[in-house]
Amino acid sequence: MLRLVWIVAEQRDGRSTPATLEVATAASRLAEEVEAFAWGNGATEIAEELGRHGVARLYDVGELGDSLAGRRIAAAMAERARTAGLPDAIFIATSYDGRDIAARLSVMIDRPVLANVVGLEERDGELETRHEILGGTEVAQARVTDQKTGIFLIRAKSFVPEESGHGPSAIETLVPPPPAAADGAKVLARHVEEASGPSLDEATVIVSGGRGLGGAEHYQLIEELAHLLGGAPAASRAVVDAGWVPYAYQVGQTGKTVKPEVYLAFGISGAMQHLVGMKGAKHIVAVNKDPSAPIFQLADLGVVADVHQVLPALIEAVRNSRS
C-alpha cells in the first residue's frame, strides 16, 4: 500500500466537485494517508465532505483573486514538496484547472504526468494505470518505472465515490505564492450558464440529441423530455459545433464523460468520440432512423424510427402517466 497520496480538490460554492470525490475515493483505497489541496471561497467548507471520502488533511491555499489556478496551486504544491517531501503519487481530476495544474507542477517538481487514467492498481509498491486509447477500443497499461512520484490525471466517472467513515479533514492554511510574470493571464469575468434540474455530472437520467434532430428548433423536445423525467439534457459534438446548444451540453471524448442510470439518445449515430463519453451508462436507449447506426451496437434497446415521431409521442406518454 502507498504511504501518502496528494490530490487536488476542486470545489464550487463550498461543495466538492463530483470528480474530486471520485479522485479522493481512488486515493483512499490505495494509500494509508490522503492529503488534499484546495483554494477559493468555500475551500474549508469541504473538509467534512472530503474527510468522509478518506482525506486526512486539507491544505487551504486561499483566495487567488483574478489569477488562474494553474501556476499558483502548482507552486503551492511544489513548495510543500520542498519543505515536507513528495508523496508517493499525486492524483488530479481531468478538468480545465486540473490539467493546467498537472502540467505546471510536472515542470516544477520534474516528475512525469500520466493522462486519461481510467483505472489504477498498486503492484509491489508501484501504481499500474489503465488508459483507454483509439476511441476507447483498446486499453493500454502504464507505470512510472523509476519508483518515484508520478502525477496521474484521472478521467471523470472512472471511480465511484464511496464514504470511508472518517471524520472531517484537518485544515492547514498555506500562503499562496505571490503573483509572478507567469500570472499575466487574468480572469476578467465569469459566466455561469443558467440551468434547471440536475447537472450532467450528477444526473441519473440523461436525454441527448444529435444531428438527426434536423435543426436547433427541435432541440427543445430534448429539454422538455429531460425535464419531465427529472434528468439533464445533453448533446453530441455535431449539435454543439452547429451552435444549437452550449458546449456545456456536450458528451463525448472532447466533452463530458457521464455515467447515468439511463441514457436516451435521439438522432445520434454513435461516432466513437461520443460513445467514449457515455458508454458507461447502465442502460442505453437509442432512437435513429438508420438501422446501421453504430450506436445500436451499444444500446440495450434500439428503436429504428424517425425521432420526430418518437419524441412527441414519448413526451405525451410521460405527461399522461404523470396525470
Tens-digit pLDDT profile for residues 53-72: 999 999 999 998 888 899 99
Domain at 288, CATH number: 3.40.50.1220
In the chain, the percentage of residues whose pLDDT exceeds 70 is 98
User: Which of 152, 184, 216 is a domain's end point?
Assistant: 184
In a shared domain, residues 28 and 126: yes
Establish if 193 belongs to a structural domain: no
In a shared domain, residues 75 and 149: yes
The β-bridge relationship of strands 138-143 and 126-133 is antiparallel
Banded pLDDT at 19 (limits 50, 70, 90): very high
In a shared domain, residues 172 and 209: no
In a shared domain, residues 44 and 176: yes
Which segments within the chain are labelled E, that is strand? Answer: 2-8, 11-12, 15-16, 31-38, 57-60, 89-93, 113-123, 126-133, 138-143, 150-154, 170-173, 205-209, 232-235, 262-266, 283-288, 301-304
Establish if 211 belongs to a structural domain: yes
What's residue 164's pLDDT? 83
In a shared domain, residues 234 and 103: no
Tens-digit pLDDT profile for residues 272-285: 989 999 999 999 99
* DSSP letter string, 174-191: -PPPPP-GGGG-B-----
Q: How many domains does the chain have?
A: 2
Which of 29-43, 127-141, 238-252 has the weakest average pLDDT? Answer: 127-141
Establish if 37 belongs to a structural domain: yes
User: Is residue 181 predicted with pLDDT exceeding 70?
Assistant: no
What's residue 195's pLDDT? 65
In a shared domain, residues 177 and 35: yes
Nearest to 204 by CA among 145, 282, 134: 282
Contacts of 319 (CB under 8 A, 6+ apart): 228
In a shared domain, residues 239 and 284: yes
In a shared domain, residues 73 and 153: yes
Rounded average pLDDT over 189-217:
87
Domain at 122, CATH number: 3.40.50.620
Tens-digit pLDDT profile for residues 127-168: 999 998 877 778 999 999 888 999 999 999 999 999 987 788
In a shared domain, residues 211 and 249: yes
pTM exceeds cut of 0.85: yes
Banded pLDDT at 304 (limits 50, 70, 90): very high
Which of 60-69, 86-95, 263-272 has the weakest average pLDDT? Answer: 60-69
In a shared domain, residues 273 and 234: yes
In a shared domain, residues 18 and 142: yes
Q: What is the DSSP letter of 155?
A: P
| The residue count for the chain | 323
Q: How far, in Å, CA of 208 to CA of 199, rounded?
A: 13
Q: How far, in Å, CA of 138 to CA of 116, rounded?
A: 13
User: Is residue 196 predicted with pLDDT exceeding 80?
Assistant: no
Q: What mean pLDDT is reported for the chain? A: 92
In the chain, the percentage of residues whose pLDDT exceeds 90 is 77
Rounded average pLDDT over 3-7:
97
In a shared domain, residues 60 and 151: yes
Q: What range does the domain containing 246 cover?
A: 205-322
